[in-house]
Structure 1
Amino acid sequence: MERAKRILVVGSSNTDIMMHVPRNPRSGESLIIRDQFTGIGGKGSNRAIALSRLGADVQFCCKLGMDAGGRAIALAYEREQLSTELILYDEQLGTGTAYVLIDDNGSNTILSYMGANDSFNRSDIARLTALLPRFQYLSLELECSLSLIEELMHQAGQLELCAIVDAGPARDIALSTFRNAYILSPNETEAAQLTGIEIIKEADAREACRKLYESGCGNVLLKRGSRGALLYDGAEFLQFPAYPAGQVLDTTAAGDCFMAALTYALTLHSNLPRAVQYANIAAGISVTRRGAIASLPWRDEVSAACARAEQEGYLQ
């Protein structure tokens, strides 16, 4: 009997402080921000909520501080009907915080305080790895303890889990860590930091993908923002243009939405190219809205957009 297609998301959970700025400040410069608001984010949190809204069978493991931010986040997960069974708490460190600068073009720059996200200890890791056989898909990123990521990737290989890794934010981690990943997916900035290859031309992007592929992963999926995504499977490159769902207002959480939708599509037996298209469509919706959680679409919205995309010839 085929194992249930359950997804375990492990990653960060943050309080987001969003600030709208005319542009990124220069060194030594002070800028007046136009407005700010506080929300819930974190790369893991965004992926887990996006998967839940898409209808996936998902469990989320994160670590919060025992503070007001942590309590607010846990309550928000309950409202989203996302299980809090695997949430851990740190008694010393506070809940992670992300400071998000959003410019007039909707592009964002993020400064992260890791806090409890970086405090997974041996006991936490042992508890989590013991639960891995319950799942078929493992969704990871690098905004939490690297020792946790390394052990989970090792166990994924032992259990033959389908590991899908968002390679952001770029950290000092050996590429060999990703040898058991089915998909390794950085954006261009992260790919450049991980490989040392500055991506200016198309040839640079392909060279970076080849170097990342040498980690031993199954596929490299380079997220390219408004230019879509580039997939390399070790033999050929496939380019997937972004899907224009409307005016771009805010790109916060778009990459997380993309990764969640990609994983969800794969659980439905979509082939990888089709899953990338589905992910582009979901991310295309998210950038038309402001905020992190507020931007994440529901399954019916993505299904309707897919129907339009098929009529337009985007979805093959």
Structure 2
Amino acid sequence: MRHESVCVFTILVWTGGFHYLGYTTMKFLIVLVAVALAANALSDREQWDEFKLKHGKSYRNLAEETRRFAIFQDNLRVIEQHNAKYERGETSFARGVNRFTDMTKEEIKKLLNRKPSPKTGNTMTAAMINATVADSLDWRAQGAVATVKDQGDCGSCWAFAAVGAMESAYYMKNGQLVQFSEQQLIDCTTSYGTVGCDGGFMQGGFEYAHDNGISTEDAYPYAAKDQSCQSTTVFLTISSFVQIEQNEDTIKSVVGTVGPVGVAIYADDIVSYSSGVYDNPSCPNSSEELDHEVLLVGYGSENGQDYWLIKNSWGTNWGESGYIKLARNSNMCGIAQDSAYPVL
């Protein structure tokens, strides 16, 4: 007959007073903890599989996938911790898993390649605007905003901001929504101070469209990489562009009268934004830290909180179908520092 020795032990716990737990109870608790940990790991794995499928992710080998899964888990914990605060009403926005969740902060930073703007052109001030604007406005409802696009792995946000502003300006003047070529700006504006997928600024795109004109996206399609400048048919030439005074009231007046405008923001922390009004007082707002350019298409209020409605260039699976509501009247993430729009 085989005999197994069992080490019997006790543990002291606090349950309103000190009590002893025997071996059987302790073993049960250990099993519970193990099950809980296994369930959490399974949940992570399920979300990982869903993430890869949804965003078309594939990796060159098992080692790379293992590394990416570890990054994904770290980012997932941050998202979960933040959303717990959101559920308790301690923050005004939620975070979520998106195509950036397997990337490190350093890798994401490389995609945020907005270069410092020379801010040339005429400057629009509040004194130049003599109009009362609506309390809330969404230019999408007027048909003045093209569909959300995806810049991919090319640091070309500046080209999307410039093209978005030109698309909306063309609609405001002609009542027709035509999509213009971001790739043309990426390929052809290096003499204006931009560096293609390595970054730029919308003013360089405006200056190019003034001097050379711009083609449609169909004629010069997006490739998400640097190419040589190609000869193409010009569809639109702009007459100038206007820099807006660094004041949110002025920006609101311009958006309310002229239409959507391009703006620069600090975007490192918004990559995991999912919904709600992004209000983060720790988001840097100095002009030196702006690293992303987007299209400002309206403004409004949600649950008593004023916001800017912003169209991003990270696809419709990011944020609120490609958009973010950014808190208004506090220069959130530097939104008042650099904004401009083209004049046709």
More strand by proportion, 1 or 2? 1
Q: Which has the larger radius of gyration?
A: 2
The higher-RCO structure (CA 8 Å, 6+ apart) is 2
User: Which TM-score band (shorter chain)?
Assistant: under 0.3
TM-score (structure 1 length as normaliser)? 0.27
